[in-house]
Amino acid sequence: MRDLVYIFLGGGFGSVLRFMISSNTQKLWKINDFPMGTFVVNITGCFLIGILSAYFLKVDNSLKYLLITGLCGGYTTFSTFSAENFSLWQNGNYPILILYVFLSLIVGLLMVFLGFQLVKD
C-alpha cells in the first residue's frame, strides 16, 4: 500500500512539474510551431529515468516507485517508452524494438486522429 502512495504522490508532482516546465519553456522559446515545451519535458524525462534506473539497479528500495513510476510517469510517459526501448536494445531484441517504436508512433497518431474525428462530427 505504501508503494501506491509513493506512486500517487510522485505522479501528482510529476504532472505539475510537466505543466510548469512545458508552459514556461514554450513561452521562452518560440520556434515557429515546434512544441519546444513538450520536447524539453520528454528529453529531460528520458535523462532523468536513465539516471534513476541505473541508480535503482544498485539500490533497490521503495523510492523507485516515488521517483521512477510516480515522478517520471507523471512527468512524461515518453520517458518510460524510451526506457523500455533501451532495454529491448540492450537485450538485442531489435525486431521487437522496431515493431514497438513503429506501432507506437503510427497507431498512436491514428488513435488521436480517430478520437478527434469521433468527437468532431
Annotated binding site for Na(+): 73, 76
Binding residues, as ranges, are: 73, 76
Q: Which amino acid is it at 34?
A: F
State the sign of the Cα–Cα–Cα–Cα dihedral 100, 80, 78, 12: positive
b/e per residue 86-106 (b: at least 16 CB within 10 A): eebeeeeeeeebeeeeeeeee
Contact yes or no for 100/85 (Cβ under 8 A): yes
